Copies of this chain bind each other. A is one copy, B any other.
Amino acid sequence: MGSKYPPSLKGFLPVWTLLLEAALIVIFFFFTSYDTSSQDPTKVMDTYRVLRDVTIMVALGFGFINSSLQRYGWSSVAFNLFLLALTVQWAALLDGFLEQPSSKKVVIKLSSIKLATMSAMSVLISAGTILGKANLVQLVLMALVEVTAFGVMRMIQTKYFIKDNHVNMMHIHVFAAYFGLMVAWSFRRPLRETMMQKDQTAKSSSLFGMLGTLFLWIFWPHFNSALLLDSPKERKNAMFNTYYALAVSAVTAISVSSLFHPQGKINMNHIHNAVLAGGVAVGASCYLISSPWLAMVLGLVAGIISTGGALCLPMCFNHMLEIHDTGGVYYTFGLPGLLGEIAHIVLTTSQDDWTKSAMAEYQLLLDIGALSLAMAMGLIIGLLTGVVLNLKIWRGLHVSKYFDDQSFWKFPHLAVGF
C-alpha cells in the first residue's frame, strides 16, 4: 500500500504549513494591532455583512463549484477552505505593509479582511486550472506567490495608473485566469485515457457543483459592490447591473449549450460556469452603467462567449497549447473578464469629456496600461510559479494519481467503485 501512493505530502506539508502558521502568528504579534478607532456601529456591521457574504461566496461557492469531478470532491472543497484560511491571513498582512510601508504597525480593520478575502479569490480561481494535478504543498506555494503578486500589482496600479480600488480589484479575473493558464501549462503531461475518465462529472457531485454555482450566482452582486460601500448610488447601480447581467447570462448559457448539441441536449459543465459569466463581465463597469439594457447585453455576450469557449477551447488548448484547464477557468473568468475590461474602457472613454481630448486620451492610455499590466504580470509570474512548482523537491503527483482523492485522503475502506 505504502509503495503505491507516493509520499507526496508526508513530512513536507504538515511541517511546512505549521511553521508557516507559526511565522504568521509571530508577524502578527510584532507588527499588527486591531483598529480601535471608534466607528459608526451601523457602518461596521454593514462592512461585516459584506465580509460574510463574500466569505459565503468564496468558501461555499468556490468550494463546491469544482466538486463535480467524480473522484476529487473531497479535495476540491477542503483544499479550497485551506487555501482561503491561509491566504486571507497573509493577504491582510501584505496589504497592510504595502499600504502603510512607513508605519511600524499594520492596523487590521474589518475592511482589510474583506479586501484580503477578495484577493484570496484570485488564488481560488487559478487553482481551478490545476485542479486534481497539484499536491497541497504546491498549492500553498502557488497561493502565497499569487496573492503577493496580485497585491503588488494592485499597488502599482493604484500608484501609477488608476486610483480606484474597485476598478483595480476587478482585474482579478484576467490576472487569475492568465496566471492559472501558465501554471497549468507547466503541468502539461500526456494524460492517458483512464485518466481522462476520472476527469468526468458524476451525477450527484454535479448537484454539489450546482450548489456552488448557485451560491456564486446569488452572492455575485455583493462581490461586485463590496468595494463601493462609500457611494450608495454606485453601490446600488453595481447590484442592479450585476443582477441583470447574471439573469441574462443564465438564460443564455443554457440556450447556447443546447444550440450546439446535435440533439439539443444541455451540458452541465457549461451551466456550472457560463451562468456566472454575466457577473464577471459586468464587474469592472457595474458602477457606471446607468440603464439595465447595457448590463443585459454584456450578460448576453458573456454567456455566448463563455459557452462558446467551453465548446471550442478545450480541444484547442489540449492539442495545440497542451494546456489542460481542468476547471474551465479561461472561459469562465478569463474571457468574460477580458470582455468586462474592454467594456469598462469603452464606457469610461465614451463618458470622458473629449473637448479636453489630451486629458481623455491620457486616461484611455492609463486604462489600457493597467489592463496590460494585469495580463502581463499574470502571464509572467504564472509562468515562473509554474516552473518552480514543477521542481522535484515538491514531490508532485505522478500523472497516474491525477484527479484522485485517494492520494490525499485516508479512506475508511478502499472499496471498489467508491
Contacts and interface: CB of A to CB of B under 8 A. Distances in A.
Interface of A: 1-2, 5, 7-15, 17-18, 21-22, 24-26, 28-29, 32-34, 36, 38, 41-42, 44-46, 48-49, 52, 55-56, 59-60, 63-64, 67, 73-74, 77-78, 81-82, 85-86, 88-89, 108, 110, 113, 136, 197, 200-201, 203-208, 210-211, 214-215, 217-219, 221-222, 232-233, 235-237, 239-240, 243-244, 246-248, 250-252, 254-256, 258-259, 261-268, 271, 275, 290-293, 296-297, 300, 405, 408-410, 412-413, 418
Given A244-B89, A267-B410, A412-B201, A13 B73 contact: no
Given A34-B292, A60-B214, A73-B204, A14 B237 contact: no
9 contacts: A1-B263, A9-B265, A10-B258, A34-B290, A60-B218, A64-B207, A64-B211, A78-B268, A197-B413
A263 B56 CA distance: 33
Nearest to A73: B207
Given A18-B255, A252-B21, A266 B214 contact: no
Given A14-B259, A17-B251, A18-B255, 20 more contacts: A9-B258, A12-B264, A21-B248, A21-B251, A33-B291, A34-B290, A38-B233, A44-B236, A49-B49, A55-B218, A59-B217, A59-B218, A81-B250, A82-B251, A88-B247, A89-B248, A203-B405, A205-B207, A265-B408, A265-B410
Contacts of A244: 89
